[in-house]
Amino acid sequence: MIPLAKPYIDEREISAVVEVLKSGWLTHGPKVKEFERMFAEYIGTKYAIAVNSCTSALQLVMEVLNIKGEVILPSFTFVASANAIVTSGAIPIFVDIVEDTYNIDPNKIEERINKRTQAIMPVHFAGHPCDMKPIMEIAEKHNLHVIEDSAECIGGLYNNKKTGSFGIGCFSFFPTKNITTGEGGIITTNDDSLEERIKILRAHGIPSMTHEREKSKKPWLRSATEAGYNFRMCDINAAIGIEQMKKIDDMNKKRIEVARYLSKKLTNNKITKPTIHKNCRHVFQIYVIMLDTSINRIDFIKKVMEKDIQASVHFDPPVHLQPYYTNIGWKKGDLPITEHVSEHVVTLPLFPSITKRDLDFISQIINSILA
């Protein structure tokens, strides 16, 4: 079976993990700080704060910003984006997406802004950055926070600026993402006070890291300044992340080359291939095609899977049509473009180590099925 995704792991990550295990310092230590420095430098922000997931990252940002009103976001995303809003005591307000990149439509944002609106959460879908210029202009005009869900867009560029550096960035290191730490997430920001509070909240409300306290006169002193969480990243995960960061540009280059090759080989006009805007670098966390409405998607995926090619759908149902959100008032017909896209998209295999032979086989099978 050709998998949908596969982490780009080699002996470097394995050796790094072994080194941490032998060191005896397994969590909240020096590797986390090193990983944070590398990631902040890569994104182009002053700070990066590592946590145990992108969901934790989103929730911490919501709490630190004290957002209890409304947050505007797309429904065409993983449910974690909206869940973090709800669990923080705020209200998600979904808006529709654009038809080419499947990202949030900036033209639909302003009409949903009212006195209760506190933030916009653009979600960079599949590795293609959102249209950040109008989003940032709207946010500035209405004095709103911008929380970038960059889970799927590590290294994506918009006007030569990396996603996660426009507002407050939240990233995921799940095994399917552009880099992985096994599980993990990170927050990027230039705000001194924001960084300080996030670091406190991620570790039980205690301002200092365990590794830092080892050098003090009273290393046992753990004094909480507020009620926090255990959202820390361990050094094992960070060690993997450090090695992944050393080859992120190479991995993203391979992803782009794979996507370009696959787009060239998929020749049937019953599919729409990924769009790339001229001012953007699409880093292809996933490769998504849109089927013509005449194609039965279930049958199509079944036939692809029968040939030992994994295929999936991102995202069906969209968040606003999932049970919790329909129970609070969202319904079919609210977001027509989102609903159409979610009913017709298919995700195909894409990862740095996939071979041309596999890509030729995938394209041949798909072209023949559609023919």
Q: List the one residue out of 100, 112, 185 whose CA is nearest residue 151.
A: 185
Domain ranges (residues) in the chain: 11-247, 249-370
Tell me the whole-structure pTM to 2 decimals. 0.95
How many other C-beta atoms can be found within 10 angstroms of the C-beta atom of residue 314?
19
Query: Under 8 Å CB-to-CB from 199, ≥6 apart: which residues?
Result: 49, 207
pLDDT at 211: 54
What per-residue confidence (pLDDT) applies to 224?
A: 84
* Radius of gyration for the chain, computed over Cα atoms and rounded to the nearest angstrom: 21
Cβ(81)–Cβ(318) below 8 Å:
no
The residue with tokens 């046992």 is: 220
C-alpha 208/C-alpha 229 separation (Å) is 14
**Fold agreement between 11-247 and 249-370:** no
Per-residue confidence (pLDDT) for residue 355, from 0 to 100 = 98
- Say how far apart CA 369 and CA 307 lie, in whole Å: 11
pLDDT at residue 34 in the model = 98
* Residues near 260 by beta carbon (within 8 Å), at least 6 away in sequence: none
pLDDT means per 10 residues, the chain with 371 residues, are 97 98 92 98 98 98 98 98 98 98 98 98 98 98 98 98 98 98 98 97 82 56 84 97 98 98 97 98 98 98 98 98 98 98 98 98 97 91
Q: Which CATH code of 3.40.50.720, 3.40.1550.20, 3.40.640.10, 1.10.730.10 fits the domain covering 11-247?
A: 3.40.640.10
Q: Which CATH number fits domain 249-370: 3.10.310.30, 3.90.1150.10, 3.40.50.150, 2.40.160.10?
A: 3.90.1150.10
User: What are 235-256's pLDDT values in tens digits?
Assistant: 999 999 999 999 999 999 999 9
Evaluate whether 137 touches 131 at the Cβ level (below 8 Å). Answer: no
